């Protein structure tokens, strides 16, 4: 099982790679918010990748669009059907 540090580093790496591949975006938010997001996502929010439309799931709203790779990385790493292409 991956540690929190491993997950945070994976969030950072995926975000950097995706921003570079797209030649667009900003990796600053995912780099700086990885620990906060990991704790919220894995230890505080109720969600289920096997039932992504679950009515009682919590919602995670990130208002700065240039940090969207943070959410995409979280979704990808926790089993949601999101590709990093």
| Helix H or strand E encompassing 15 | helix 4-22
Averaged pLDDT for residues 16-24? 90
Whether residue 74 is predicted with pLDDT greater than 90 in this model: the reply is yes
* 41-67 per-position pLDDT tens digit: 999 999 999 999 999 999 999 988 888
Helix (H, G, I), strand (E, B) or coil at 6: helix
7 touches 42 (CB < 8 A): yes
In this structure, how many other beta carbons lie within 10 angstroms of the beta carbon of residue 14?
A: 19
Query: pTM to 2 decimals?
Result: 0.87
Q: What is the dihedral of CA 22, 24, 29, 32, to 10 degrees?
A: 60
Q: Distance (Å, rounded) from C-alpha 47 to C-alpha 25?
A: 27
Whether residue 80 is predicted with pLDDT greater than 90 in this model: the reply is yes
């Amino acid at each position: 099982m991956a540690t929190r540090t491993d997950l945070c580093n994976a969030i950072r790496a995926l975000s950097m790679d995706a921003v570079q591949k797209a030649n667009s975006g900003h990796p600053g938010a995912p780099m700086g918010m990885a620990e906060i997001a990991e704790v919220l996502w894995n230890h505080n929010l109720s969600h289920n990748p096997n039932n992504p439309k679950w009515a009682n799931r919590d919602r995670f709203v990130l208002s700065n669009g240039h940090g969207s790779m943070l959410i995409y990385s979280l979704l990808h790493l926790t089993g949601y059907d999101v590709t990093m292409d």
